Amino acid sequence: MQAVGPMENSLEFASSRLRVAHRIADAYAADYAAVFGAKYTLPALSDTARFPLAGKPGDAAYDAMSAADKDAVTRVFVNAGKAIAAFERTLTAEPSRLDQYVAGDFTALAESEKEALKAFFVVGCAQCHWGPMLSDNAFHDIRFPTGRLDGVADEGASAGIPKLLASEFRAGGSYSDAPGSANYARFTPDAIASLRGKFKTPVLRGVADTGPWGHGGTIDDLHLVAKHYGERGLKDDDPRAVGPVEPWIAPFDDHTQHLFGGLLQSMHATPRP
């Protein structure tokens, strides 16, 4: 769902599944057959009366197609998304200085970085940023500002989950390779409401290379991310954020803010060849 979303989003590629399917047929037919040929063949896309050059659900050209042809086009689109997801999994990084330190090389971090790492545990960062990816893969409210031009706060997962449940591309959907793997029953209305303002904990591996930071992309300096945490997020009455900040983020002083800024700036990821 994540990989195909941008293609049909009007603010991103503003493309459509028919266009993507035609592009695959025109430029990547042999590659497609090599990867998916055992199970799927490309539909007769050269017949543009049957398969218009562009269109997605809600567009007249797409909506007029037969159910079987819609499914065939959507299958190509989904497989393109699966290929992207599979490619993304091959993007891995060389061990960082933090990895070297954890593996026992106590010279890999500078003294100030060691001090910051200790504070990372004392202050509570490691409650959420832990494990090899420095993420708990869960959702929390940190009250980072919105990146929306109208300044309205982002609702976070409470707005995202209903979109997930409505999507034909979710893990439990008919295009899934593992239907039944997802547990959607846990998303009761109360559970969804409790996710207001919460975002998934981002991976901190290579965080120095992935700015600007925060879900709105509004923070362009890691020292300011640390300062934001030190002040426990935007104030309760600030309209750019919603929901209460998580209780286990303790306020901390300028010195610690500065240490965290330095530690985060040292977190580079060198791509594996």
Nearest CA-CA partner of 218 in 267, 265, 154, 171: 154
Instruction: Please state the closest distance from residue 43 (CB atom) to ligand HEC, in A.
Output: 39
Burial class (CB in 10 A: 0-12, 13-18, 19+), 28: middle
Q: In whole angstroms, how far apart are CA 98 and each of 104, 113, 201, 221?
A: 10, 9, 19, 20
Pick the closest to residue 174 from 251, 56, 78 (CA basis): 78
Residue with smaller CB distance to ligand HEC, 52 or 214:
214
Cβ nearer to ligand HEC, comparing 52 with 230:
230
Sign of CA dihedral 184, 187, 192, 194: negative
Smallest distance from ligand HEC to CB 91, Å: 16
**CB of 164 vs ligand HEC, minimal distance in Å:** 17
**Which lies closer to ligand HEC via its Cβ, residue 100 or residue 127?**
127
- Shortest gap between Cβ of 165 and ligand HEC (angstroms)? 21
Nearest residue (CB) to ligand HEC, 48 versus 137: 137
- Tokens standing for residue 33: 């057959």
- Binding residues (CB under 6 A) for ligand HEC: these are 123-125, 127-129, 140, 142, 144, 199, 201-202, 204, 207, 210, 213-215, 225-226, 229, 246, 248-249, 260, 264
Closest CB to ligand HEC among 31 and 209? 209
The whole-angstrom separation of Cα 114 and Cα 120 is: 10
Min separation Cβ 254 and ligand HEC, Å? 13
- Distance in Å from the first CA to the final CA of the chain: 28
